[in-house]
Amino acid sequence: MVEKSKSHRFESGQVILRENTPGDSAYIILAGEVEITKIIEGQRVVLDTLGPGSIFGEMSLLDGSPRSATVTAKSPTLLSIVDRGRFQAILNAIPKEVRPLFSALSDRLRHTSRMVSVLSQRERLLYSICVLIHTLAALKGIARGRGKALSHQETVLDACRVLAIVHEKIVEIINLLTTSGLIEFAESDRKDDKLIVIPDPQLFGAFIDFLSEKLSYIPGFPVPSRKYSLLADKAQEILFFLKNSAGALPTDEEGYSHYDFDRYVKDCISTLGYGVKDAILQLQNLSVSGHVRLEKFSKVAQNKAIVYNSGDIAQAQMILLQADEFEKLYENLKKAR
Protein backbone atom coordinates (compact mmCIF):
# COMPACT_ATOMS: atom_id res chain seq x y z
CA MET A 1 0.00 0.00 0.00
CA VAL A 2 1.15 3.52 -0.75
CA GLU A 3 1.61 5.59 2.37
CA LYS A 4 -0.98 8.34 2.91
CA SER A 5 0.31 11.72 1.75
CA LYS A 6 1.22 14.56 4.09
CA SER A 7 -0.18 18.05 3.62
CA HIS A 8 1.19 21.48 4.48
CA ARG A 9 -0.21 25.00 4.35
CA PHE A 10 1.82 27.94 3.04
CA GLU A 11 0.90 31.57 3.49
CA SER A 12 0.86 34.12 0.68
CA GLY A 13 4.42 35.15 -0.25
CA GLN A 14 6.04 32.16 1.45
CA VAL A 15 8.73 30.40 -0.62
CA ILE A 16 7.99 26.69 -1.08
CA LEU A 17 10.98 25.72 -3.26
CA ARG A 18 14.08 27.71 -4.06
CA GLU A 19 15.99 27.47 -7.34
CA ASN A 20 19.25 25.45 -7.29
CA THR A 21 18.56 23.85 -3.89
CA PRO A 22 18.37 20.05 -3.34
CA GLY A 23 14.94 18.48 -3.71
CA ASP A 24 13.49 15.30 -2.26
CA SER A 25 9.75 15.81 -2.74
CA ALA A 26 7.06 16.80 -5.22
CA TYR A 27 3.90 18.77 -4.48
CA ILE A 28 0.25 18.59 -5.52
CA ILE A 29 -1.79 21.78 -5.11
CA LEU A 30 -4.99 21.06 -3.18
CA ALA A 31 -6.05 24.70 -2.79
CA GLY A 32 -4.63 28.12 -3.61
CA GLU A 33 -2.10 29.27 -6.21
CA VAL A 34 1.68 29.26 -6.62
CA GLU A 35 3.99 31.31 -8.82
CA ILE A 36 6.97 29.74 -10.60
CA THR A 37 9.94 32.06 -11.16
CA LYS A 38 13.53 31.78 -12.33
CA ILE A 39 16.51 34.14 -12.42
CA ILE A 40 17.47 34.62 -16.08
CA GLU A 41 20.37 36.92 -16.92
CA GLY A 42 20.05 38.53 -13.49
CA GLN A 43 16.32 39.20 -13.82
CA ARG A 44 13.49 37.49 -11.94
CA VAL A 45 11.17 36.05 -14.60
CA VAL A 46 7.69 34.70 -13.85
CA LEU A 47 7.32 31.44 -15.78
CA ASP A 48 3.83 30.40 -14.77
CA THR A 49 1.07 30.37 -12.15
CA LEU A 50 -0.35 27.01 -11.05
CA GLY A 51 -3.65 26.23 -9.34
CA PRO A 52 -5.47 23.28 -7.72
CA GLY A 53 -4.61 19.89 -9.25
CA SER A 54 -1.24 20.98 -10.61
CA ILE A 55 2.00 19.16 -9.71
CA PHE A 56 5.45 20.70 -9.35
CA GLY A 57 8.88 19.62 -8.08
CA GLU A 58 8.70 16.17 -9.68
CA MET A 59 11.85 16.56 -11.80
CA SER A 60 14.12 16.42 -8.74
CA LEU A 61 12.48 13.17 -7.66
CA LEU A 62 13.10 11.68 -11.08
CA ASP A 63 16.80 12.48 -11.38
CA GLY A 64 17.98 13.91 -8.04
CA SER A 65 19.03 17.23 -9.59
CA PRO A 66 18.61 20.59 -7.81
CA ARG A 67 15.40 22.58 -8.19
CA SER A 68 15.22 24.28 -11.59
CA ALA A 69 13.01 27.19 -10.42
CA THR A 70 11.64 28.96 -7.34
CA VAL A 71 8.02 28.35 -6.32
CA THR A 72 6.21 30.86 -4.09
CA ALA A 73 2.69 30.76 -2.65
CA LYS A 74 0.64 33.46 -4.39
CA SER A 75 -2.22 33.07 -1.93
CA PRO A 76 -2.84 30.85 1.13
CA THR A 77 -2.05 27.45 -0.36
CA LEU A 78 -2.58 23.86 0.77
CA LEU A 79 -0.21 21.28 -0.71
CA SER A 80 -0.03 17.51 -0.65
CA ILE A 81 3.63 16.49 -0.26
CA VAL A 82 4.91 13.44 -2.14
CA ASP A 83 8.23 12.45 -0.56
CA ARG A 84 10.82 10.18 -2.15
CA GLY A 85 9.54 7.09 -0.35
CA ARG A 86 5.97 7.57 -1.50
CA PHE A 87 7.10 8.46 -5.00
CA GLN A 88 9.17 5.26 -5.16
CA ALA A 89 6.15 3.26 -4.03
CA ILE A 90 4.13 4.78 -6.84
CA LEU A 91 6.90 3.95 -9.34
CA ASN A 92 7.03 0.38 -8.05
CA ALA A 93 3.37 0.00 -8.98
CA ILE A 94 4.23 0.85 -12.61
CA PRO A 95 5.32 -2.04 -14.89
CA LYS A 96 9.13 -2.38 -14.95
CA GLU A 97 9.36 -1.99 -18.71
CA VAL A 98 7.76 1.47 -18.49
CA ARG A 99 9.97 2.91 -15.71
CA PRO A 100 13.02 3.69 -17.92
CA LEU A 101 10.81 6.09 -19.89
CA PHE A 102 10.59 8.38 -16.86
CA SER A 103 14.38 8.54 -16.53
CA ALA A 104 14.77 9.06 -20.28
CA LEU A 105 12.31 11.96 -20.21
CA SER A 106 14.01 13.49 -17.19
CA ASP A 107 17.51 13.21 -18.71
CA ARG A 108 16.51 14.71 -22.02
CA LEU A 109 14.50 17.55 -20.49
CA ARG A 110 17.29 18.40 -18.04
CA HIS A 111 19.73 18.51 -20.95
CA THR A 112 17.40 20.84 -22.82
CA SER A 113 17.05 23.00 -19.71
CA ARG A 114 20.85 23.32 -19.41
CA MET A 115 21.13 24.32 -23.04
CA VAL A 116 18.55 27.07 -22.68
CA SER A 117 20.98 29.08 -20.53
CA VAL A 118 22.77 29.97 -23.77
CA LEU A 119 19.62 30.31 -25.82
CA SER A 120 18.66 33.88 -26.49
CA GLN A 121 18.14 33.99 -30.23
CA ARG A 122 14.86 32.95 -31.77
CA GLU A 123 16.22 29.99 -33.75
CA ARG A 124 17.93 28.52 -30.68
CA LEU A 125 14.69 28.61 -28.73
CA LEU A 126 13.04 27.00 -31.76
CA TYR A 127 15.42 24.04 -31.44
CA SER A 128 14.73 23.53 -27.73
CA ILE A 129 10.96 23.65 -28.13
CA CYS A 130 11.12 21.20 -31.03
CA VAL A 131 13.18 18.78 -28.91
CA LEU A 132 10.76 19.12 -26.01
CA ILE A 133 7.65 18.52 -28.14
CA HIS A 134 9.27 15.56 -29.91
CA THR A 135 10.33 14.00 -26.59
CA LEU A 136 6.95 14.49 -24.91
CA ALA A 137 5.16 13.09 -27.96
CA ALA A 138 7.34 9.97 -27.91
CA LEU A 139 6.76 9.36 -24.20
CA LYS A 140 3.16 10.38 -23.61
CA GLY A 141 1.69 11.39 -26.97
CA ILE A 142 -1.70 10.05 -28.01
CA ALA A 143 -1.72 8.10 -31.28
CA ARG A 144 -3.47 10.01 -34.05
CA GLY A 145 -3.17 8.21 -37.38
CA ARG A 146 0.56 7.98 -38.16
CA GLY A 147 1.22 10.88 -35.83
CA LYS A 148 1.10 11.85 -32.17
CA ALA A 149 -1.00 14.41 -30.28
CA LEU A 150 -0.33 16.38 -27.10
CA SER A 151 -2.37 18.73 -24.95
CA HIS A 152 -1.48 22.32 -25.91
CA GLN A 153 -1.96 23.58 -22.34
CA GLU A 154 0.19 20.87 -20.77
CA THR A 155 2.92 21.22 -23.41
CA VAL A 156 3.17 24.98 -22.92
CA LEU A 157 3.32 24.50 -19.15
CA ASP A 158 6.03 21.83 -19.48
CA ALA A 159 8.03 24.09 -21.79
CA CYS A 160 7.77 27.03 -19.38
CA ARG A 161 8.97 24.93 -16.49
CA VAL A 162 11.74 23.04 -18.28
CA LEU A 163 13.10 25.78 -20.53
CA ALA A 164 12.57 28.66 -18.09
CA ILE A 165 11.01 30.81 -20.79
CA VAL A 166 7.92 32.96 -20.34
CA HIS A 167 4.55 31.63 -21.52
CA GLU A 168 4.16 34.14 -24.37
CA LYS A 169 7.42 33.17 -26.09
CA ILE A 170 6.59 29.45 -25.92
CA VAL A 171 3.16 30.03 -27.49
CA GLU A 172 4.73 32.27 -30.15
CA ILE A 173 7.19 29.55 -31.25
CA ILE A 174 4.55 26.80 -31.22
CA ASN A 175 2.25 28.98 -33.35
CA LEU A 176 5.18 29.62 -35.67
CA LEU A 177 5.82 25.88 -36.07
CA THR A 178 2.26 25.37 -37.31
CA THR A 179 3.12 27.48 -40.37
CA SER A 180 5.78 24.90 -41.29
CA GLY A 181 3.44 21.92 -41.46
CA LEU A 182 5.65 20.02 -38.99
CA ILE A 183 2.95 20.40 -36.36
CA GLU A 184 -0.70 21.41 -36.52
CA PHE A 185 -3.54 22.20 -34.16
CA ALA A 186 -6.67 20.08 -33.72
CA GLU A 187 -9.73 20.19 -31.50
CA SER A 188 -9.53 18.66 -28.04
CA ASP A 189 -12.22 17.01 -25.94
CA ARG A 190 -11.60 19.83 -23.45
CA LYS A 191 -13.22 23.13 -24.41
CA ASP A 192 -10.44 25.16 -22.78
CA ASP A 193 -7.65 23.29 -24.61
CA LYS A 194 -6.56 22.13 -28.06
CA LEU A 195 -4.21 19.47 -29.40
CA ILE A 196 -0.74 19.84 -30.83
CA VAL A 197 -0.50 17.18 -33.54
CA ILE A 198 2.76 15.94 -35.09
CA PRO A 199 1.55 14.34 -38.36
CA ASP A 200 4.94 12.74 -39.13
CA PRO A 201 7.14 12.26 -36.02
CA GLN A 202 9.98 10.83 -38.12
CA LEU A 203 10.10 13.93 -40.33
CA PHE A 204 9.90 16.15 -37.24
CA GLY A 205 12.83 14.24 -35.72
CA ALA A 206 14.83 14.71 -38.93
CA PHE A 207 14.21 18.46 -38.78
CA ILE A 208 15.53 18.48 -35.20
CA ASP A 209 18.70 16.70 -36.40
CA PHE A 210 19.03 19.36 -39.09
CA LEU A 211 18.66 22.15 -36.51
CA SER A 212 21.23 20.46 -34.27
CA GLU A 213 23.76 20.64 -37.08
CA LYS A 214 22.89 24.25 -37.88
CA LEU A 215 23.36 25.28 -34.24
CA SER A 216 26.24 22.96 -33.32
CA TYR A 217 28.59 25.90 -32.68
CA ILE A 218 26.67 26.71 -29.48
CA PRO A 219 28.37 25.43 -26.28
CA GLY A 220 26.32 22.70 -24.65
CA PHE A 221 24.64 21.44 -27.80
CA PRO A 222 25.09 17.73 -28.56
CA VAL A 223 27.71 16.78 -31.14
CA PRO A 224 25.64 16.35 -34.31
CA SER A 225 25.84 13.44 -36.75
CA ARG A 226 26.80 15.78 -39.64
CA LYS A 227 24.29 13.90 -41.75
CA TYR A 228 23.21 17.09 -43.51
CA SER A 229 26.00 19.64 -43.27
CA LEU A 230 28.74 17.36 -44.63
CA LEU A 231 26.88 16.86 -47.87
CA ALA A 232 28.21 19.94 -49.64
CA ASP A 233 27.30 21.45 -53.01
CA LYS A 234 29.32 18.87 -54.99
CA ALA A 235 27.85 15.91 -53.12
CA GLN A 236 24.95 15.45 -55.56
CA GLU A 237 27.40 15.26 -58.45
CA ILE A 238 29.53 12.66 -56.65
CA LEU A 239 26.45 10.62 -55.73
CA PHE A 240 25.30 10.45 -59.36
CA PHE A 241 28.84 9.54 -60.36
CA LEU A 242 28.98 6.66 -57.85
CA LYS A 243 25.51 5.48 -58.85
CA ASN A 244 26.39 5.44 -62.54
CA SER A 245 29.73 3.71 -61.87
CA ALA A 246 28.25 0.88 -59.79
CA GLY A 247 27.31 -1.29 -62.78
CA ALA A 248 30.95 -1.63 -63.86
CA LEU A 249 32.29 -2.47 -60.39
CA PRO A 250 32.87 -5.87 -58.73
CA THR A 251 30.38 -6.71 -55.97
CA ASP A 252 30.47 -8.87 -52.87
CA GLU A 253 27.97 -11.55 -51.82
CA GLU A 254 25.69 -8.94 -50.23
CA GLY A 255 25.51 -6.88 -53.41
CA TYR A 256 27.80 -4.05 -52.28
CA SER A 257 29.94 -2.45 -54.98
CA HIS A 258 33.68 -2.17 -54.29
CA TYR A 259 35.27 0.80 -56.06
CA ASP A 260 39.09 0.68 -56.10
CA PHE A 261 40.19 3.89 -54.39
CA ASP A 262 42.98 4.78 -56.83
CA ARG A 263 40.68 4.15 -59.78
CA TYR A 264 37.98 6.34 -58.16
CA VAL A 265 40.39 9.29 -57.86
CA LYS A 266 41.56 8.92 -61.47
CA ASP A 267 37.95 8.63 -62.73
CA CYS A 268 36.92 11.75 -60.76
CA ILE A 269 39.76 13.71 -62.32
CA SER A 270 39.06 12.54 -65.88
CA THR A 271 35.23 12.48 -65.76
CA LEU A 272 34.29 15.28 -63.36
CA GLY A 273 37.35 17.48 -63.69
CA TYR A 274 38.04 17.38 -59.95
CA GLY A 275 41.44 17.81 -58.39
CA VAL A 276 42.80 15.00 -56.20
CA LYS A 277 42.05 16.96 -53.01
CA ASP A 278 38.43 17.63 -54.01
CA ALA A 279 37.79 14.00 -55.01
CA ILE A 280 39.11 12.72 -51.67
CA LEU A 281 37.33 15.42 -49.58
CA GLN A 282 33.92 14.65 -51.09
CA LEU A 283 34.48 10.95 -50.46
CA GLN A 284 35.49 11.55 -46.83
CA ASN A 285 32.33 13.59 -46.26
CA LEU A 286 30.17 10.78 -47.63
CA SER A 287 32.02 8.31 -45.43
CA VAL A 288 31.69 10.38 -42.23
CA SER A 289 27.98 10.90 -42.84
CA GLY A 290 27.60 7.12 -43.18
CA HIS A 291 26.59 6.81 -46.84
CA VAL A 292 29.66 4.93 -48.06
CA ARG A 293 32.24 2.81 -46.28
CA LEU A 294 35.99 3.03 -46.77
CA GLU A 295 37.89 -0.24 -46.43
CA LYS A 296 41.68 -0.22 -46.01
CA PHE A 297 41.84 -3.45 -47.96
CA SER A 298 38.99 -4.97 -49.92
CA LYS A 299 39.35 -8.60 -50.98
CA VAL A 300 36.91 -7.89 -53.80
CA ALA A 301 38.87 -4.93 -55.20
CA GLN A 302 42.27 -6.17 -53.95
CA ASN A 303 43.07 -2.64 -52.78
CA LYS A 304 41.75 0.15 -50.62
CA ALA A 305 38.12 0.56 -51.71
CA ILE A 306 34.89 2.51 -51.44
CA VAL A 307 32.05 0.14 -50.51
CA TYR A 308 28.40 1.08 -51.12
CA ASN A 309 25.13 -0.08 -52.63
CA SER A 310 22.30 1.62 -54.52
CA GLY A 311 20.27 1.99 -51.31
CA ASP A 312 23.08 3.97 -49.64
CA ILE A 313 23.28 6.34 -52.60
CA ALA A 314 19.50 6.77 -52.85
CA GLN A 315 19.32 7.58 -49.12
CA ALA A 316 22.07 10.19 -49.44
CA GLN A 317 20.28 11.78 -52.40
CA MET A 318 17.04 11.93 -50.38
CA ILE A 319 18.87 13.56 -47.47
CA LEU A 320 20.28 16.19 -49.82
CA LEU A 321 16.77 17.01 -51.05
CA GLN A 322 15.49 17.01 -47.47
CA ALA A 323 18.32 19.29 -46.37
CA ASP A 324 17.38 21.76 -49.10
CA GLU A 325 13.74 21.77 -47.95
CA PHE A 326 14.74 22.07 -44.28
CA GLU A 327 17.04 24.99 -45.11
CA LYS A 328 14.18 26.87 -46.75
CA LEU A 329 11.89 26.04 -43.83
CA TYR A 330 14.49 27.14 -41.31
CA GLU A 331 15.02 30.49 -43.06
CA ASN A 332 11.26 31.08 -43.25
CA LEU A 333 10.87 30.36 -39.54
CA LYS A 334 13.70 32.76 -38.69
CA LYS A 335 12.15 35.54 -40.75
CA ALA A 336 8.58 35.06 -39.53
CA ARG A 337 7.31 37.35 -36.77
Q: What is the pLDDT of residues 95-118, one digit of tens each?
A: 666 556 555 555 555 555 554 444
- Identify the band that residue 250 occupies on the pLDDT scale cut at 50, 70 and 90: very high
Domains of the chain, CATH where assigned: 6-92 (2.60.120.10), 99-224 (1.10.10.10), 235-320 (1.10.10.10)
In terms of DSSP bridges, do strands 142-144 and 147-151 run parallel, antiparallel, or are they unpaired? antiparallel
Q: What is the pLDDT of residues 153-167, one digit of tens each?
A: 999 988 887 776 778
Checking if the pLDDT of 249 tops 80, the result is: yes
- Identify the band that residue 148 occupies on the pLDDT scale cut at 50, 70 and 90: very high
Contact 177, 183 (CB under 8 A): yes
Checking if the pLDDT of 5 tops 70, the result is: no
Q: What is the pLDDT of residues 42-98, one digit of tens each?
A: 667 777 788 898 888 877 776 677 887 899 999 999 999 888 777 777 666 666 665
| pLDDT in the model for residue 219 | 47
Checking if the pLDDT of 242 tops 70, the result is: yes
| pLDDT in the model for residue 168 | 84
Q: What is the pLDDT of residues 124-142, one digit of tens each?
A: 788 889 988 998 998 889 9
Computed over every residue of the chain, the mean pLDDT equals 81
Q: What is the pLDDT of residues 201-216, one digit of tens each?
A: 988 988 888 888 777 6
Q: What is the pTM of this model?
A: 0.55
Strand partners for 81: 6, 27
Checking if the pLDDT of 119 tops 50, the result is: no
| pLDDT in the model for residue 160 | 80
Longest dimension (CA), the chain: 81
216: CB partners within 8 A, 6+ apart: 223, 224, 229
| pLDDT in the model for residue 221 | 46
128: CB partners within 8 A, 6+ apart: 112, 115, 116, 119, 163
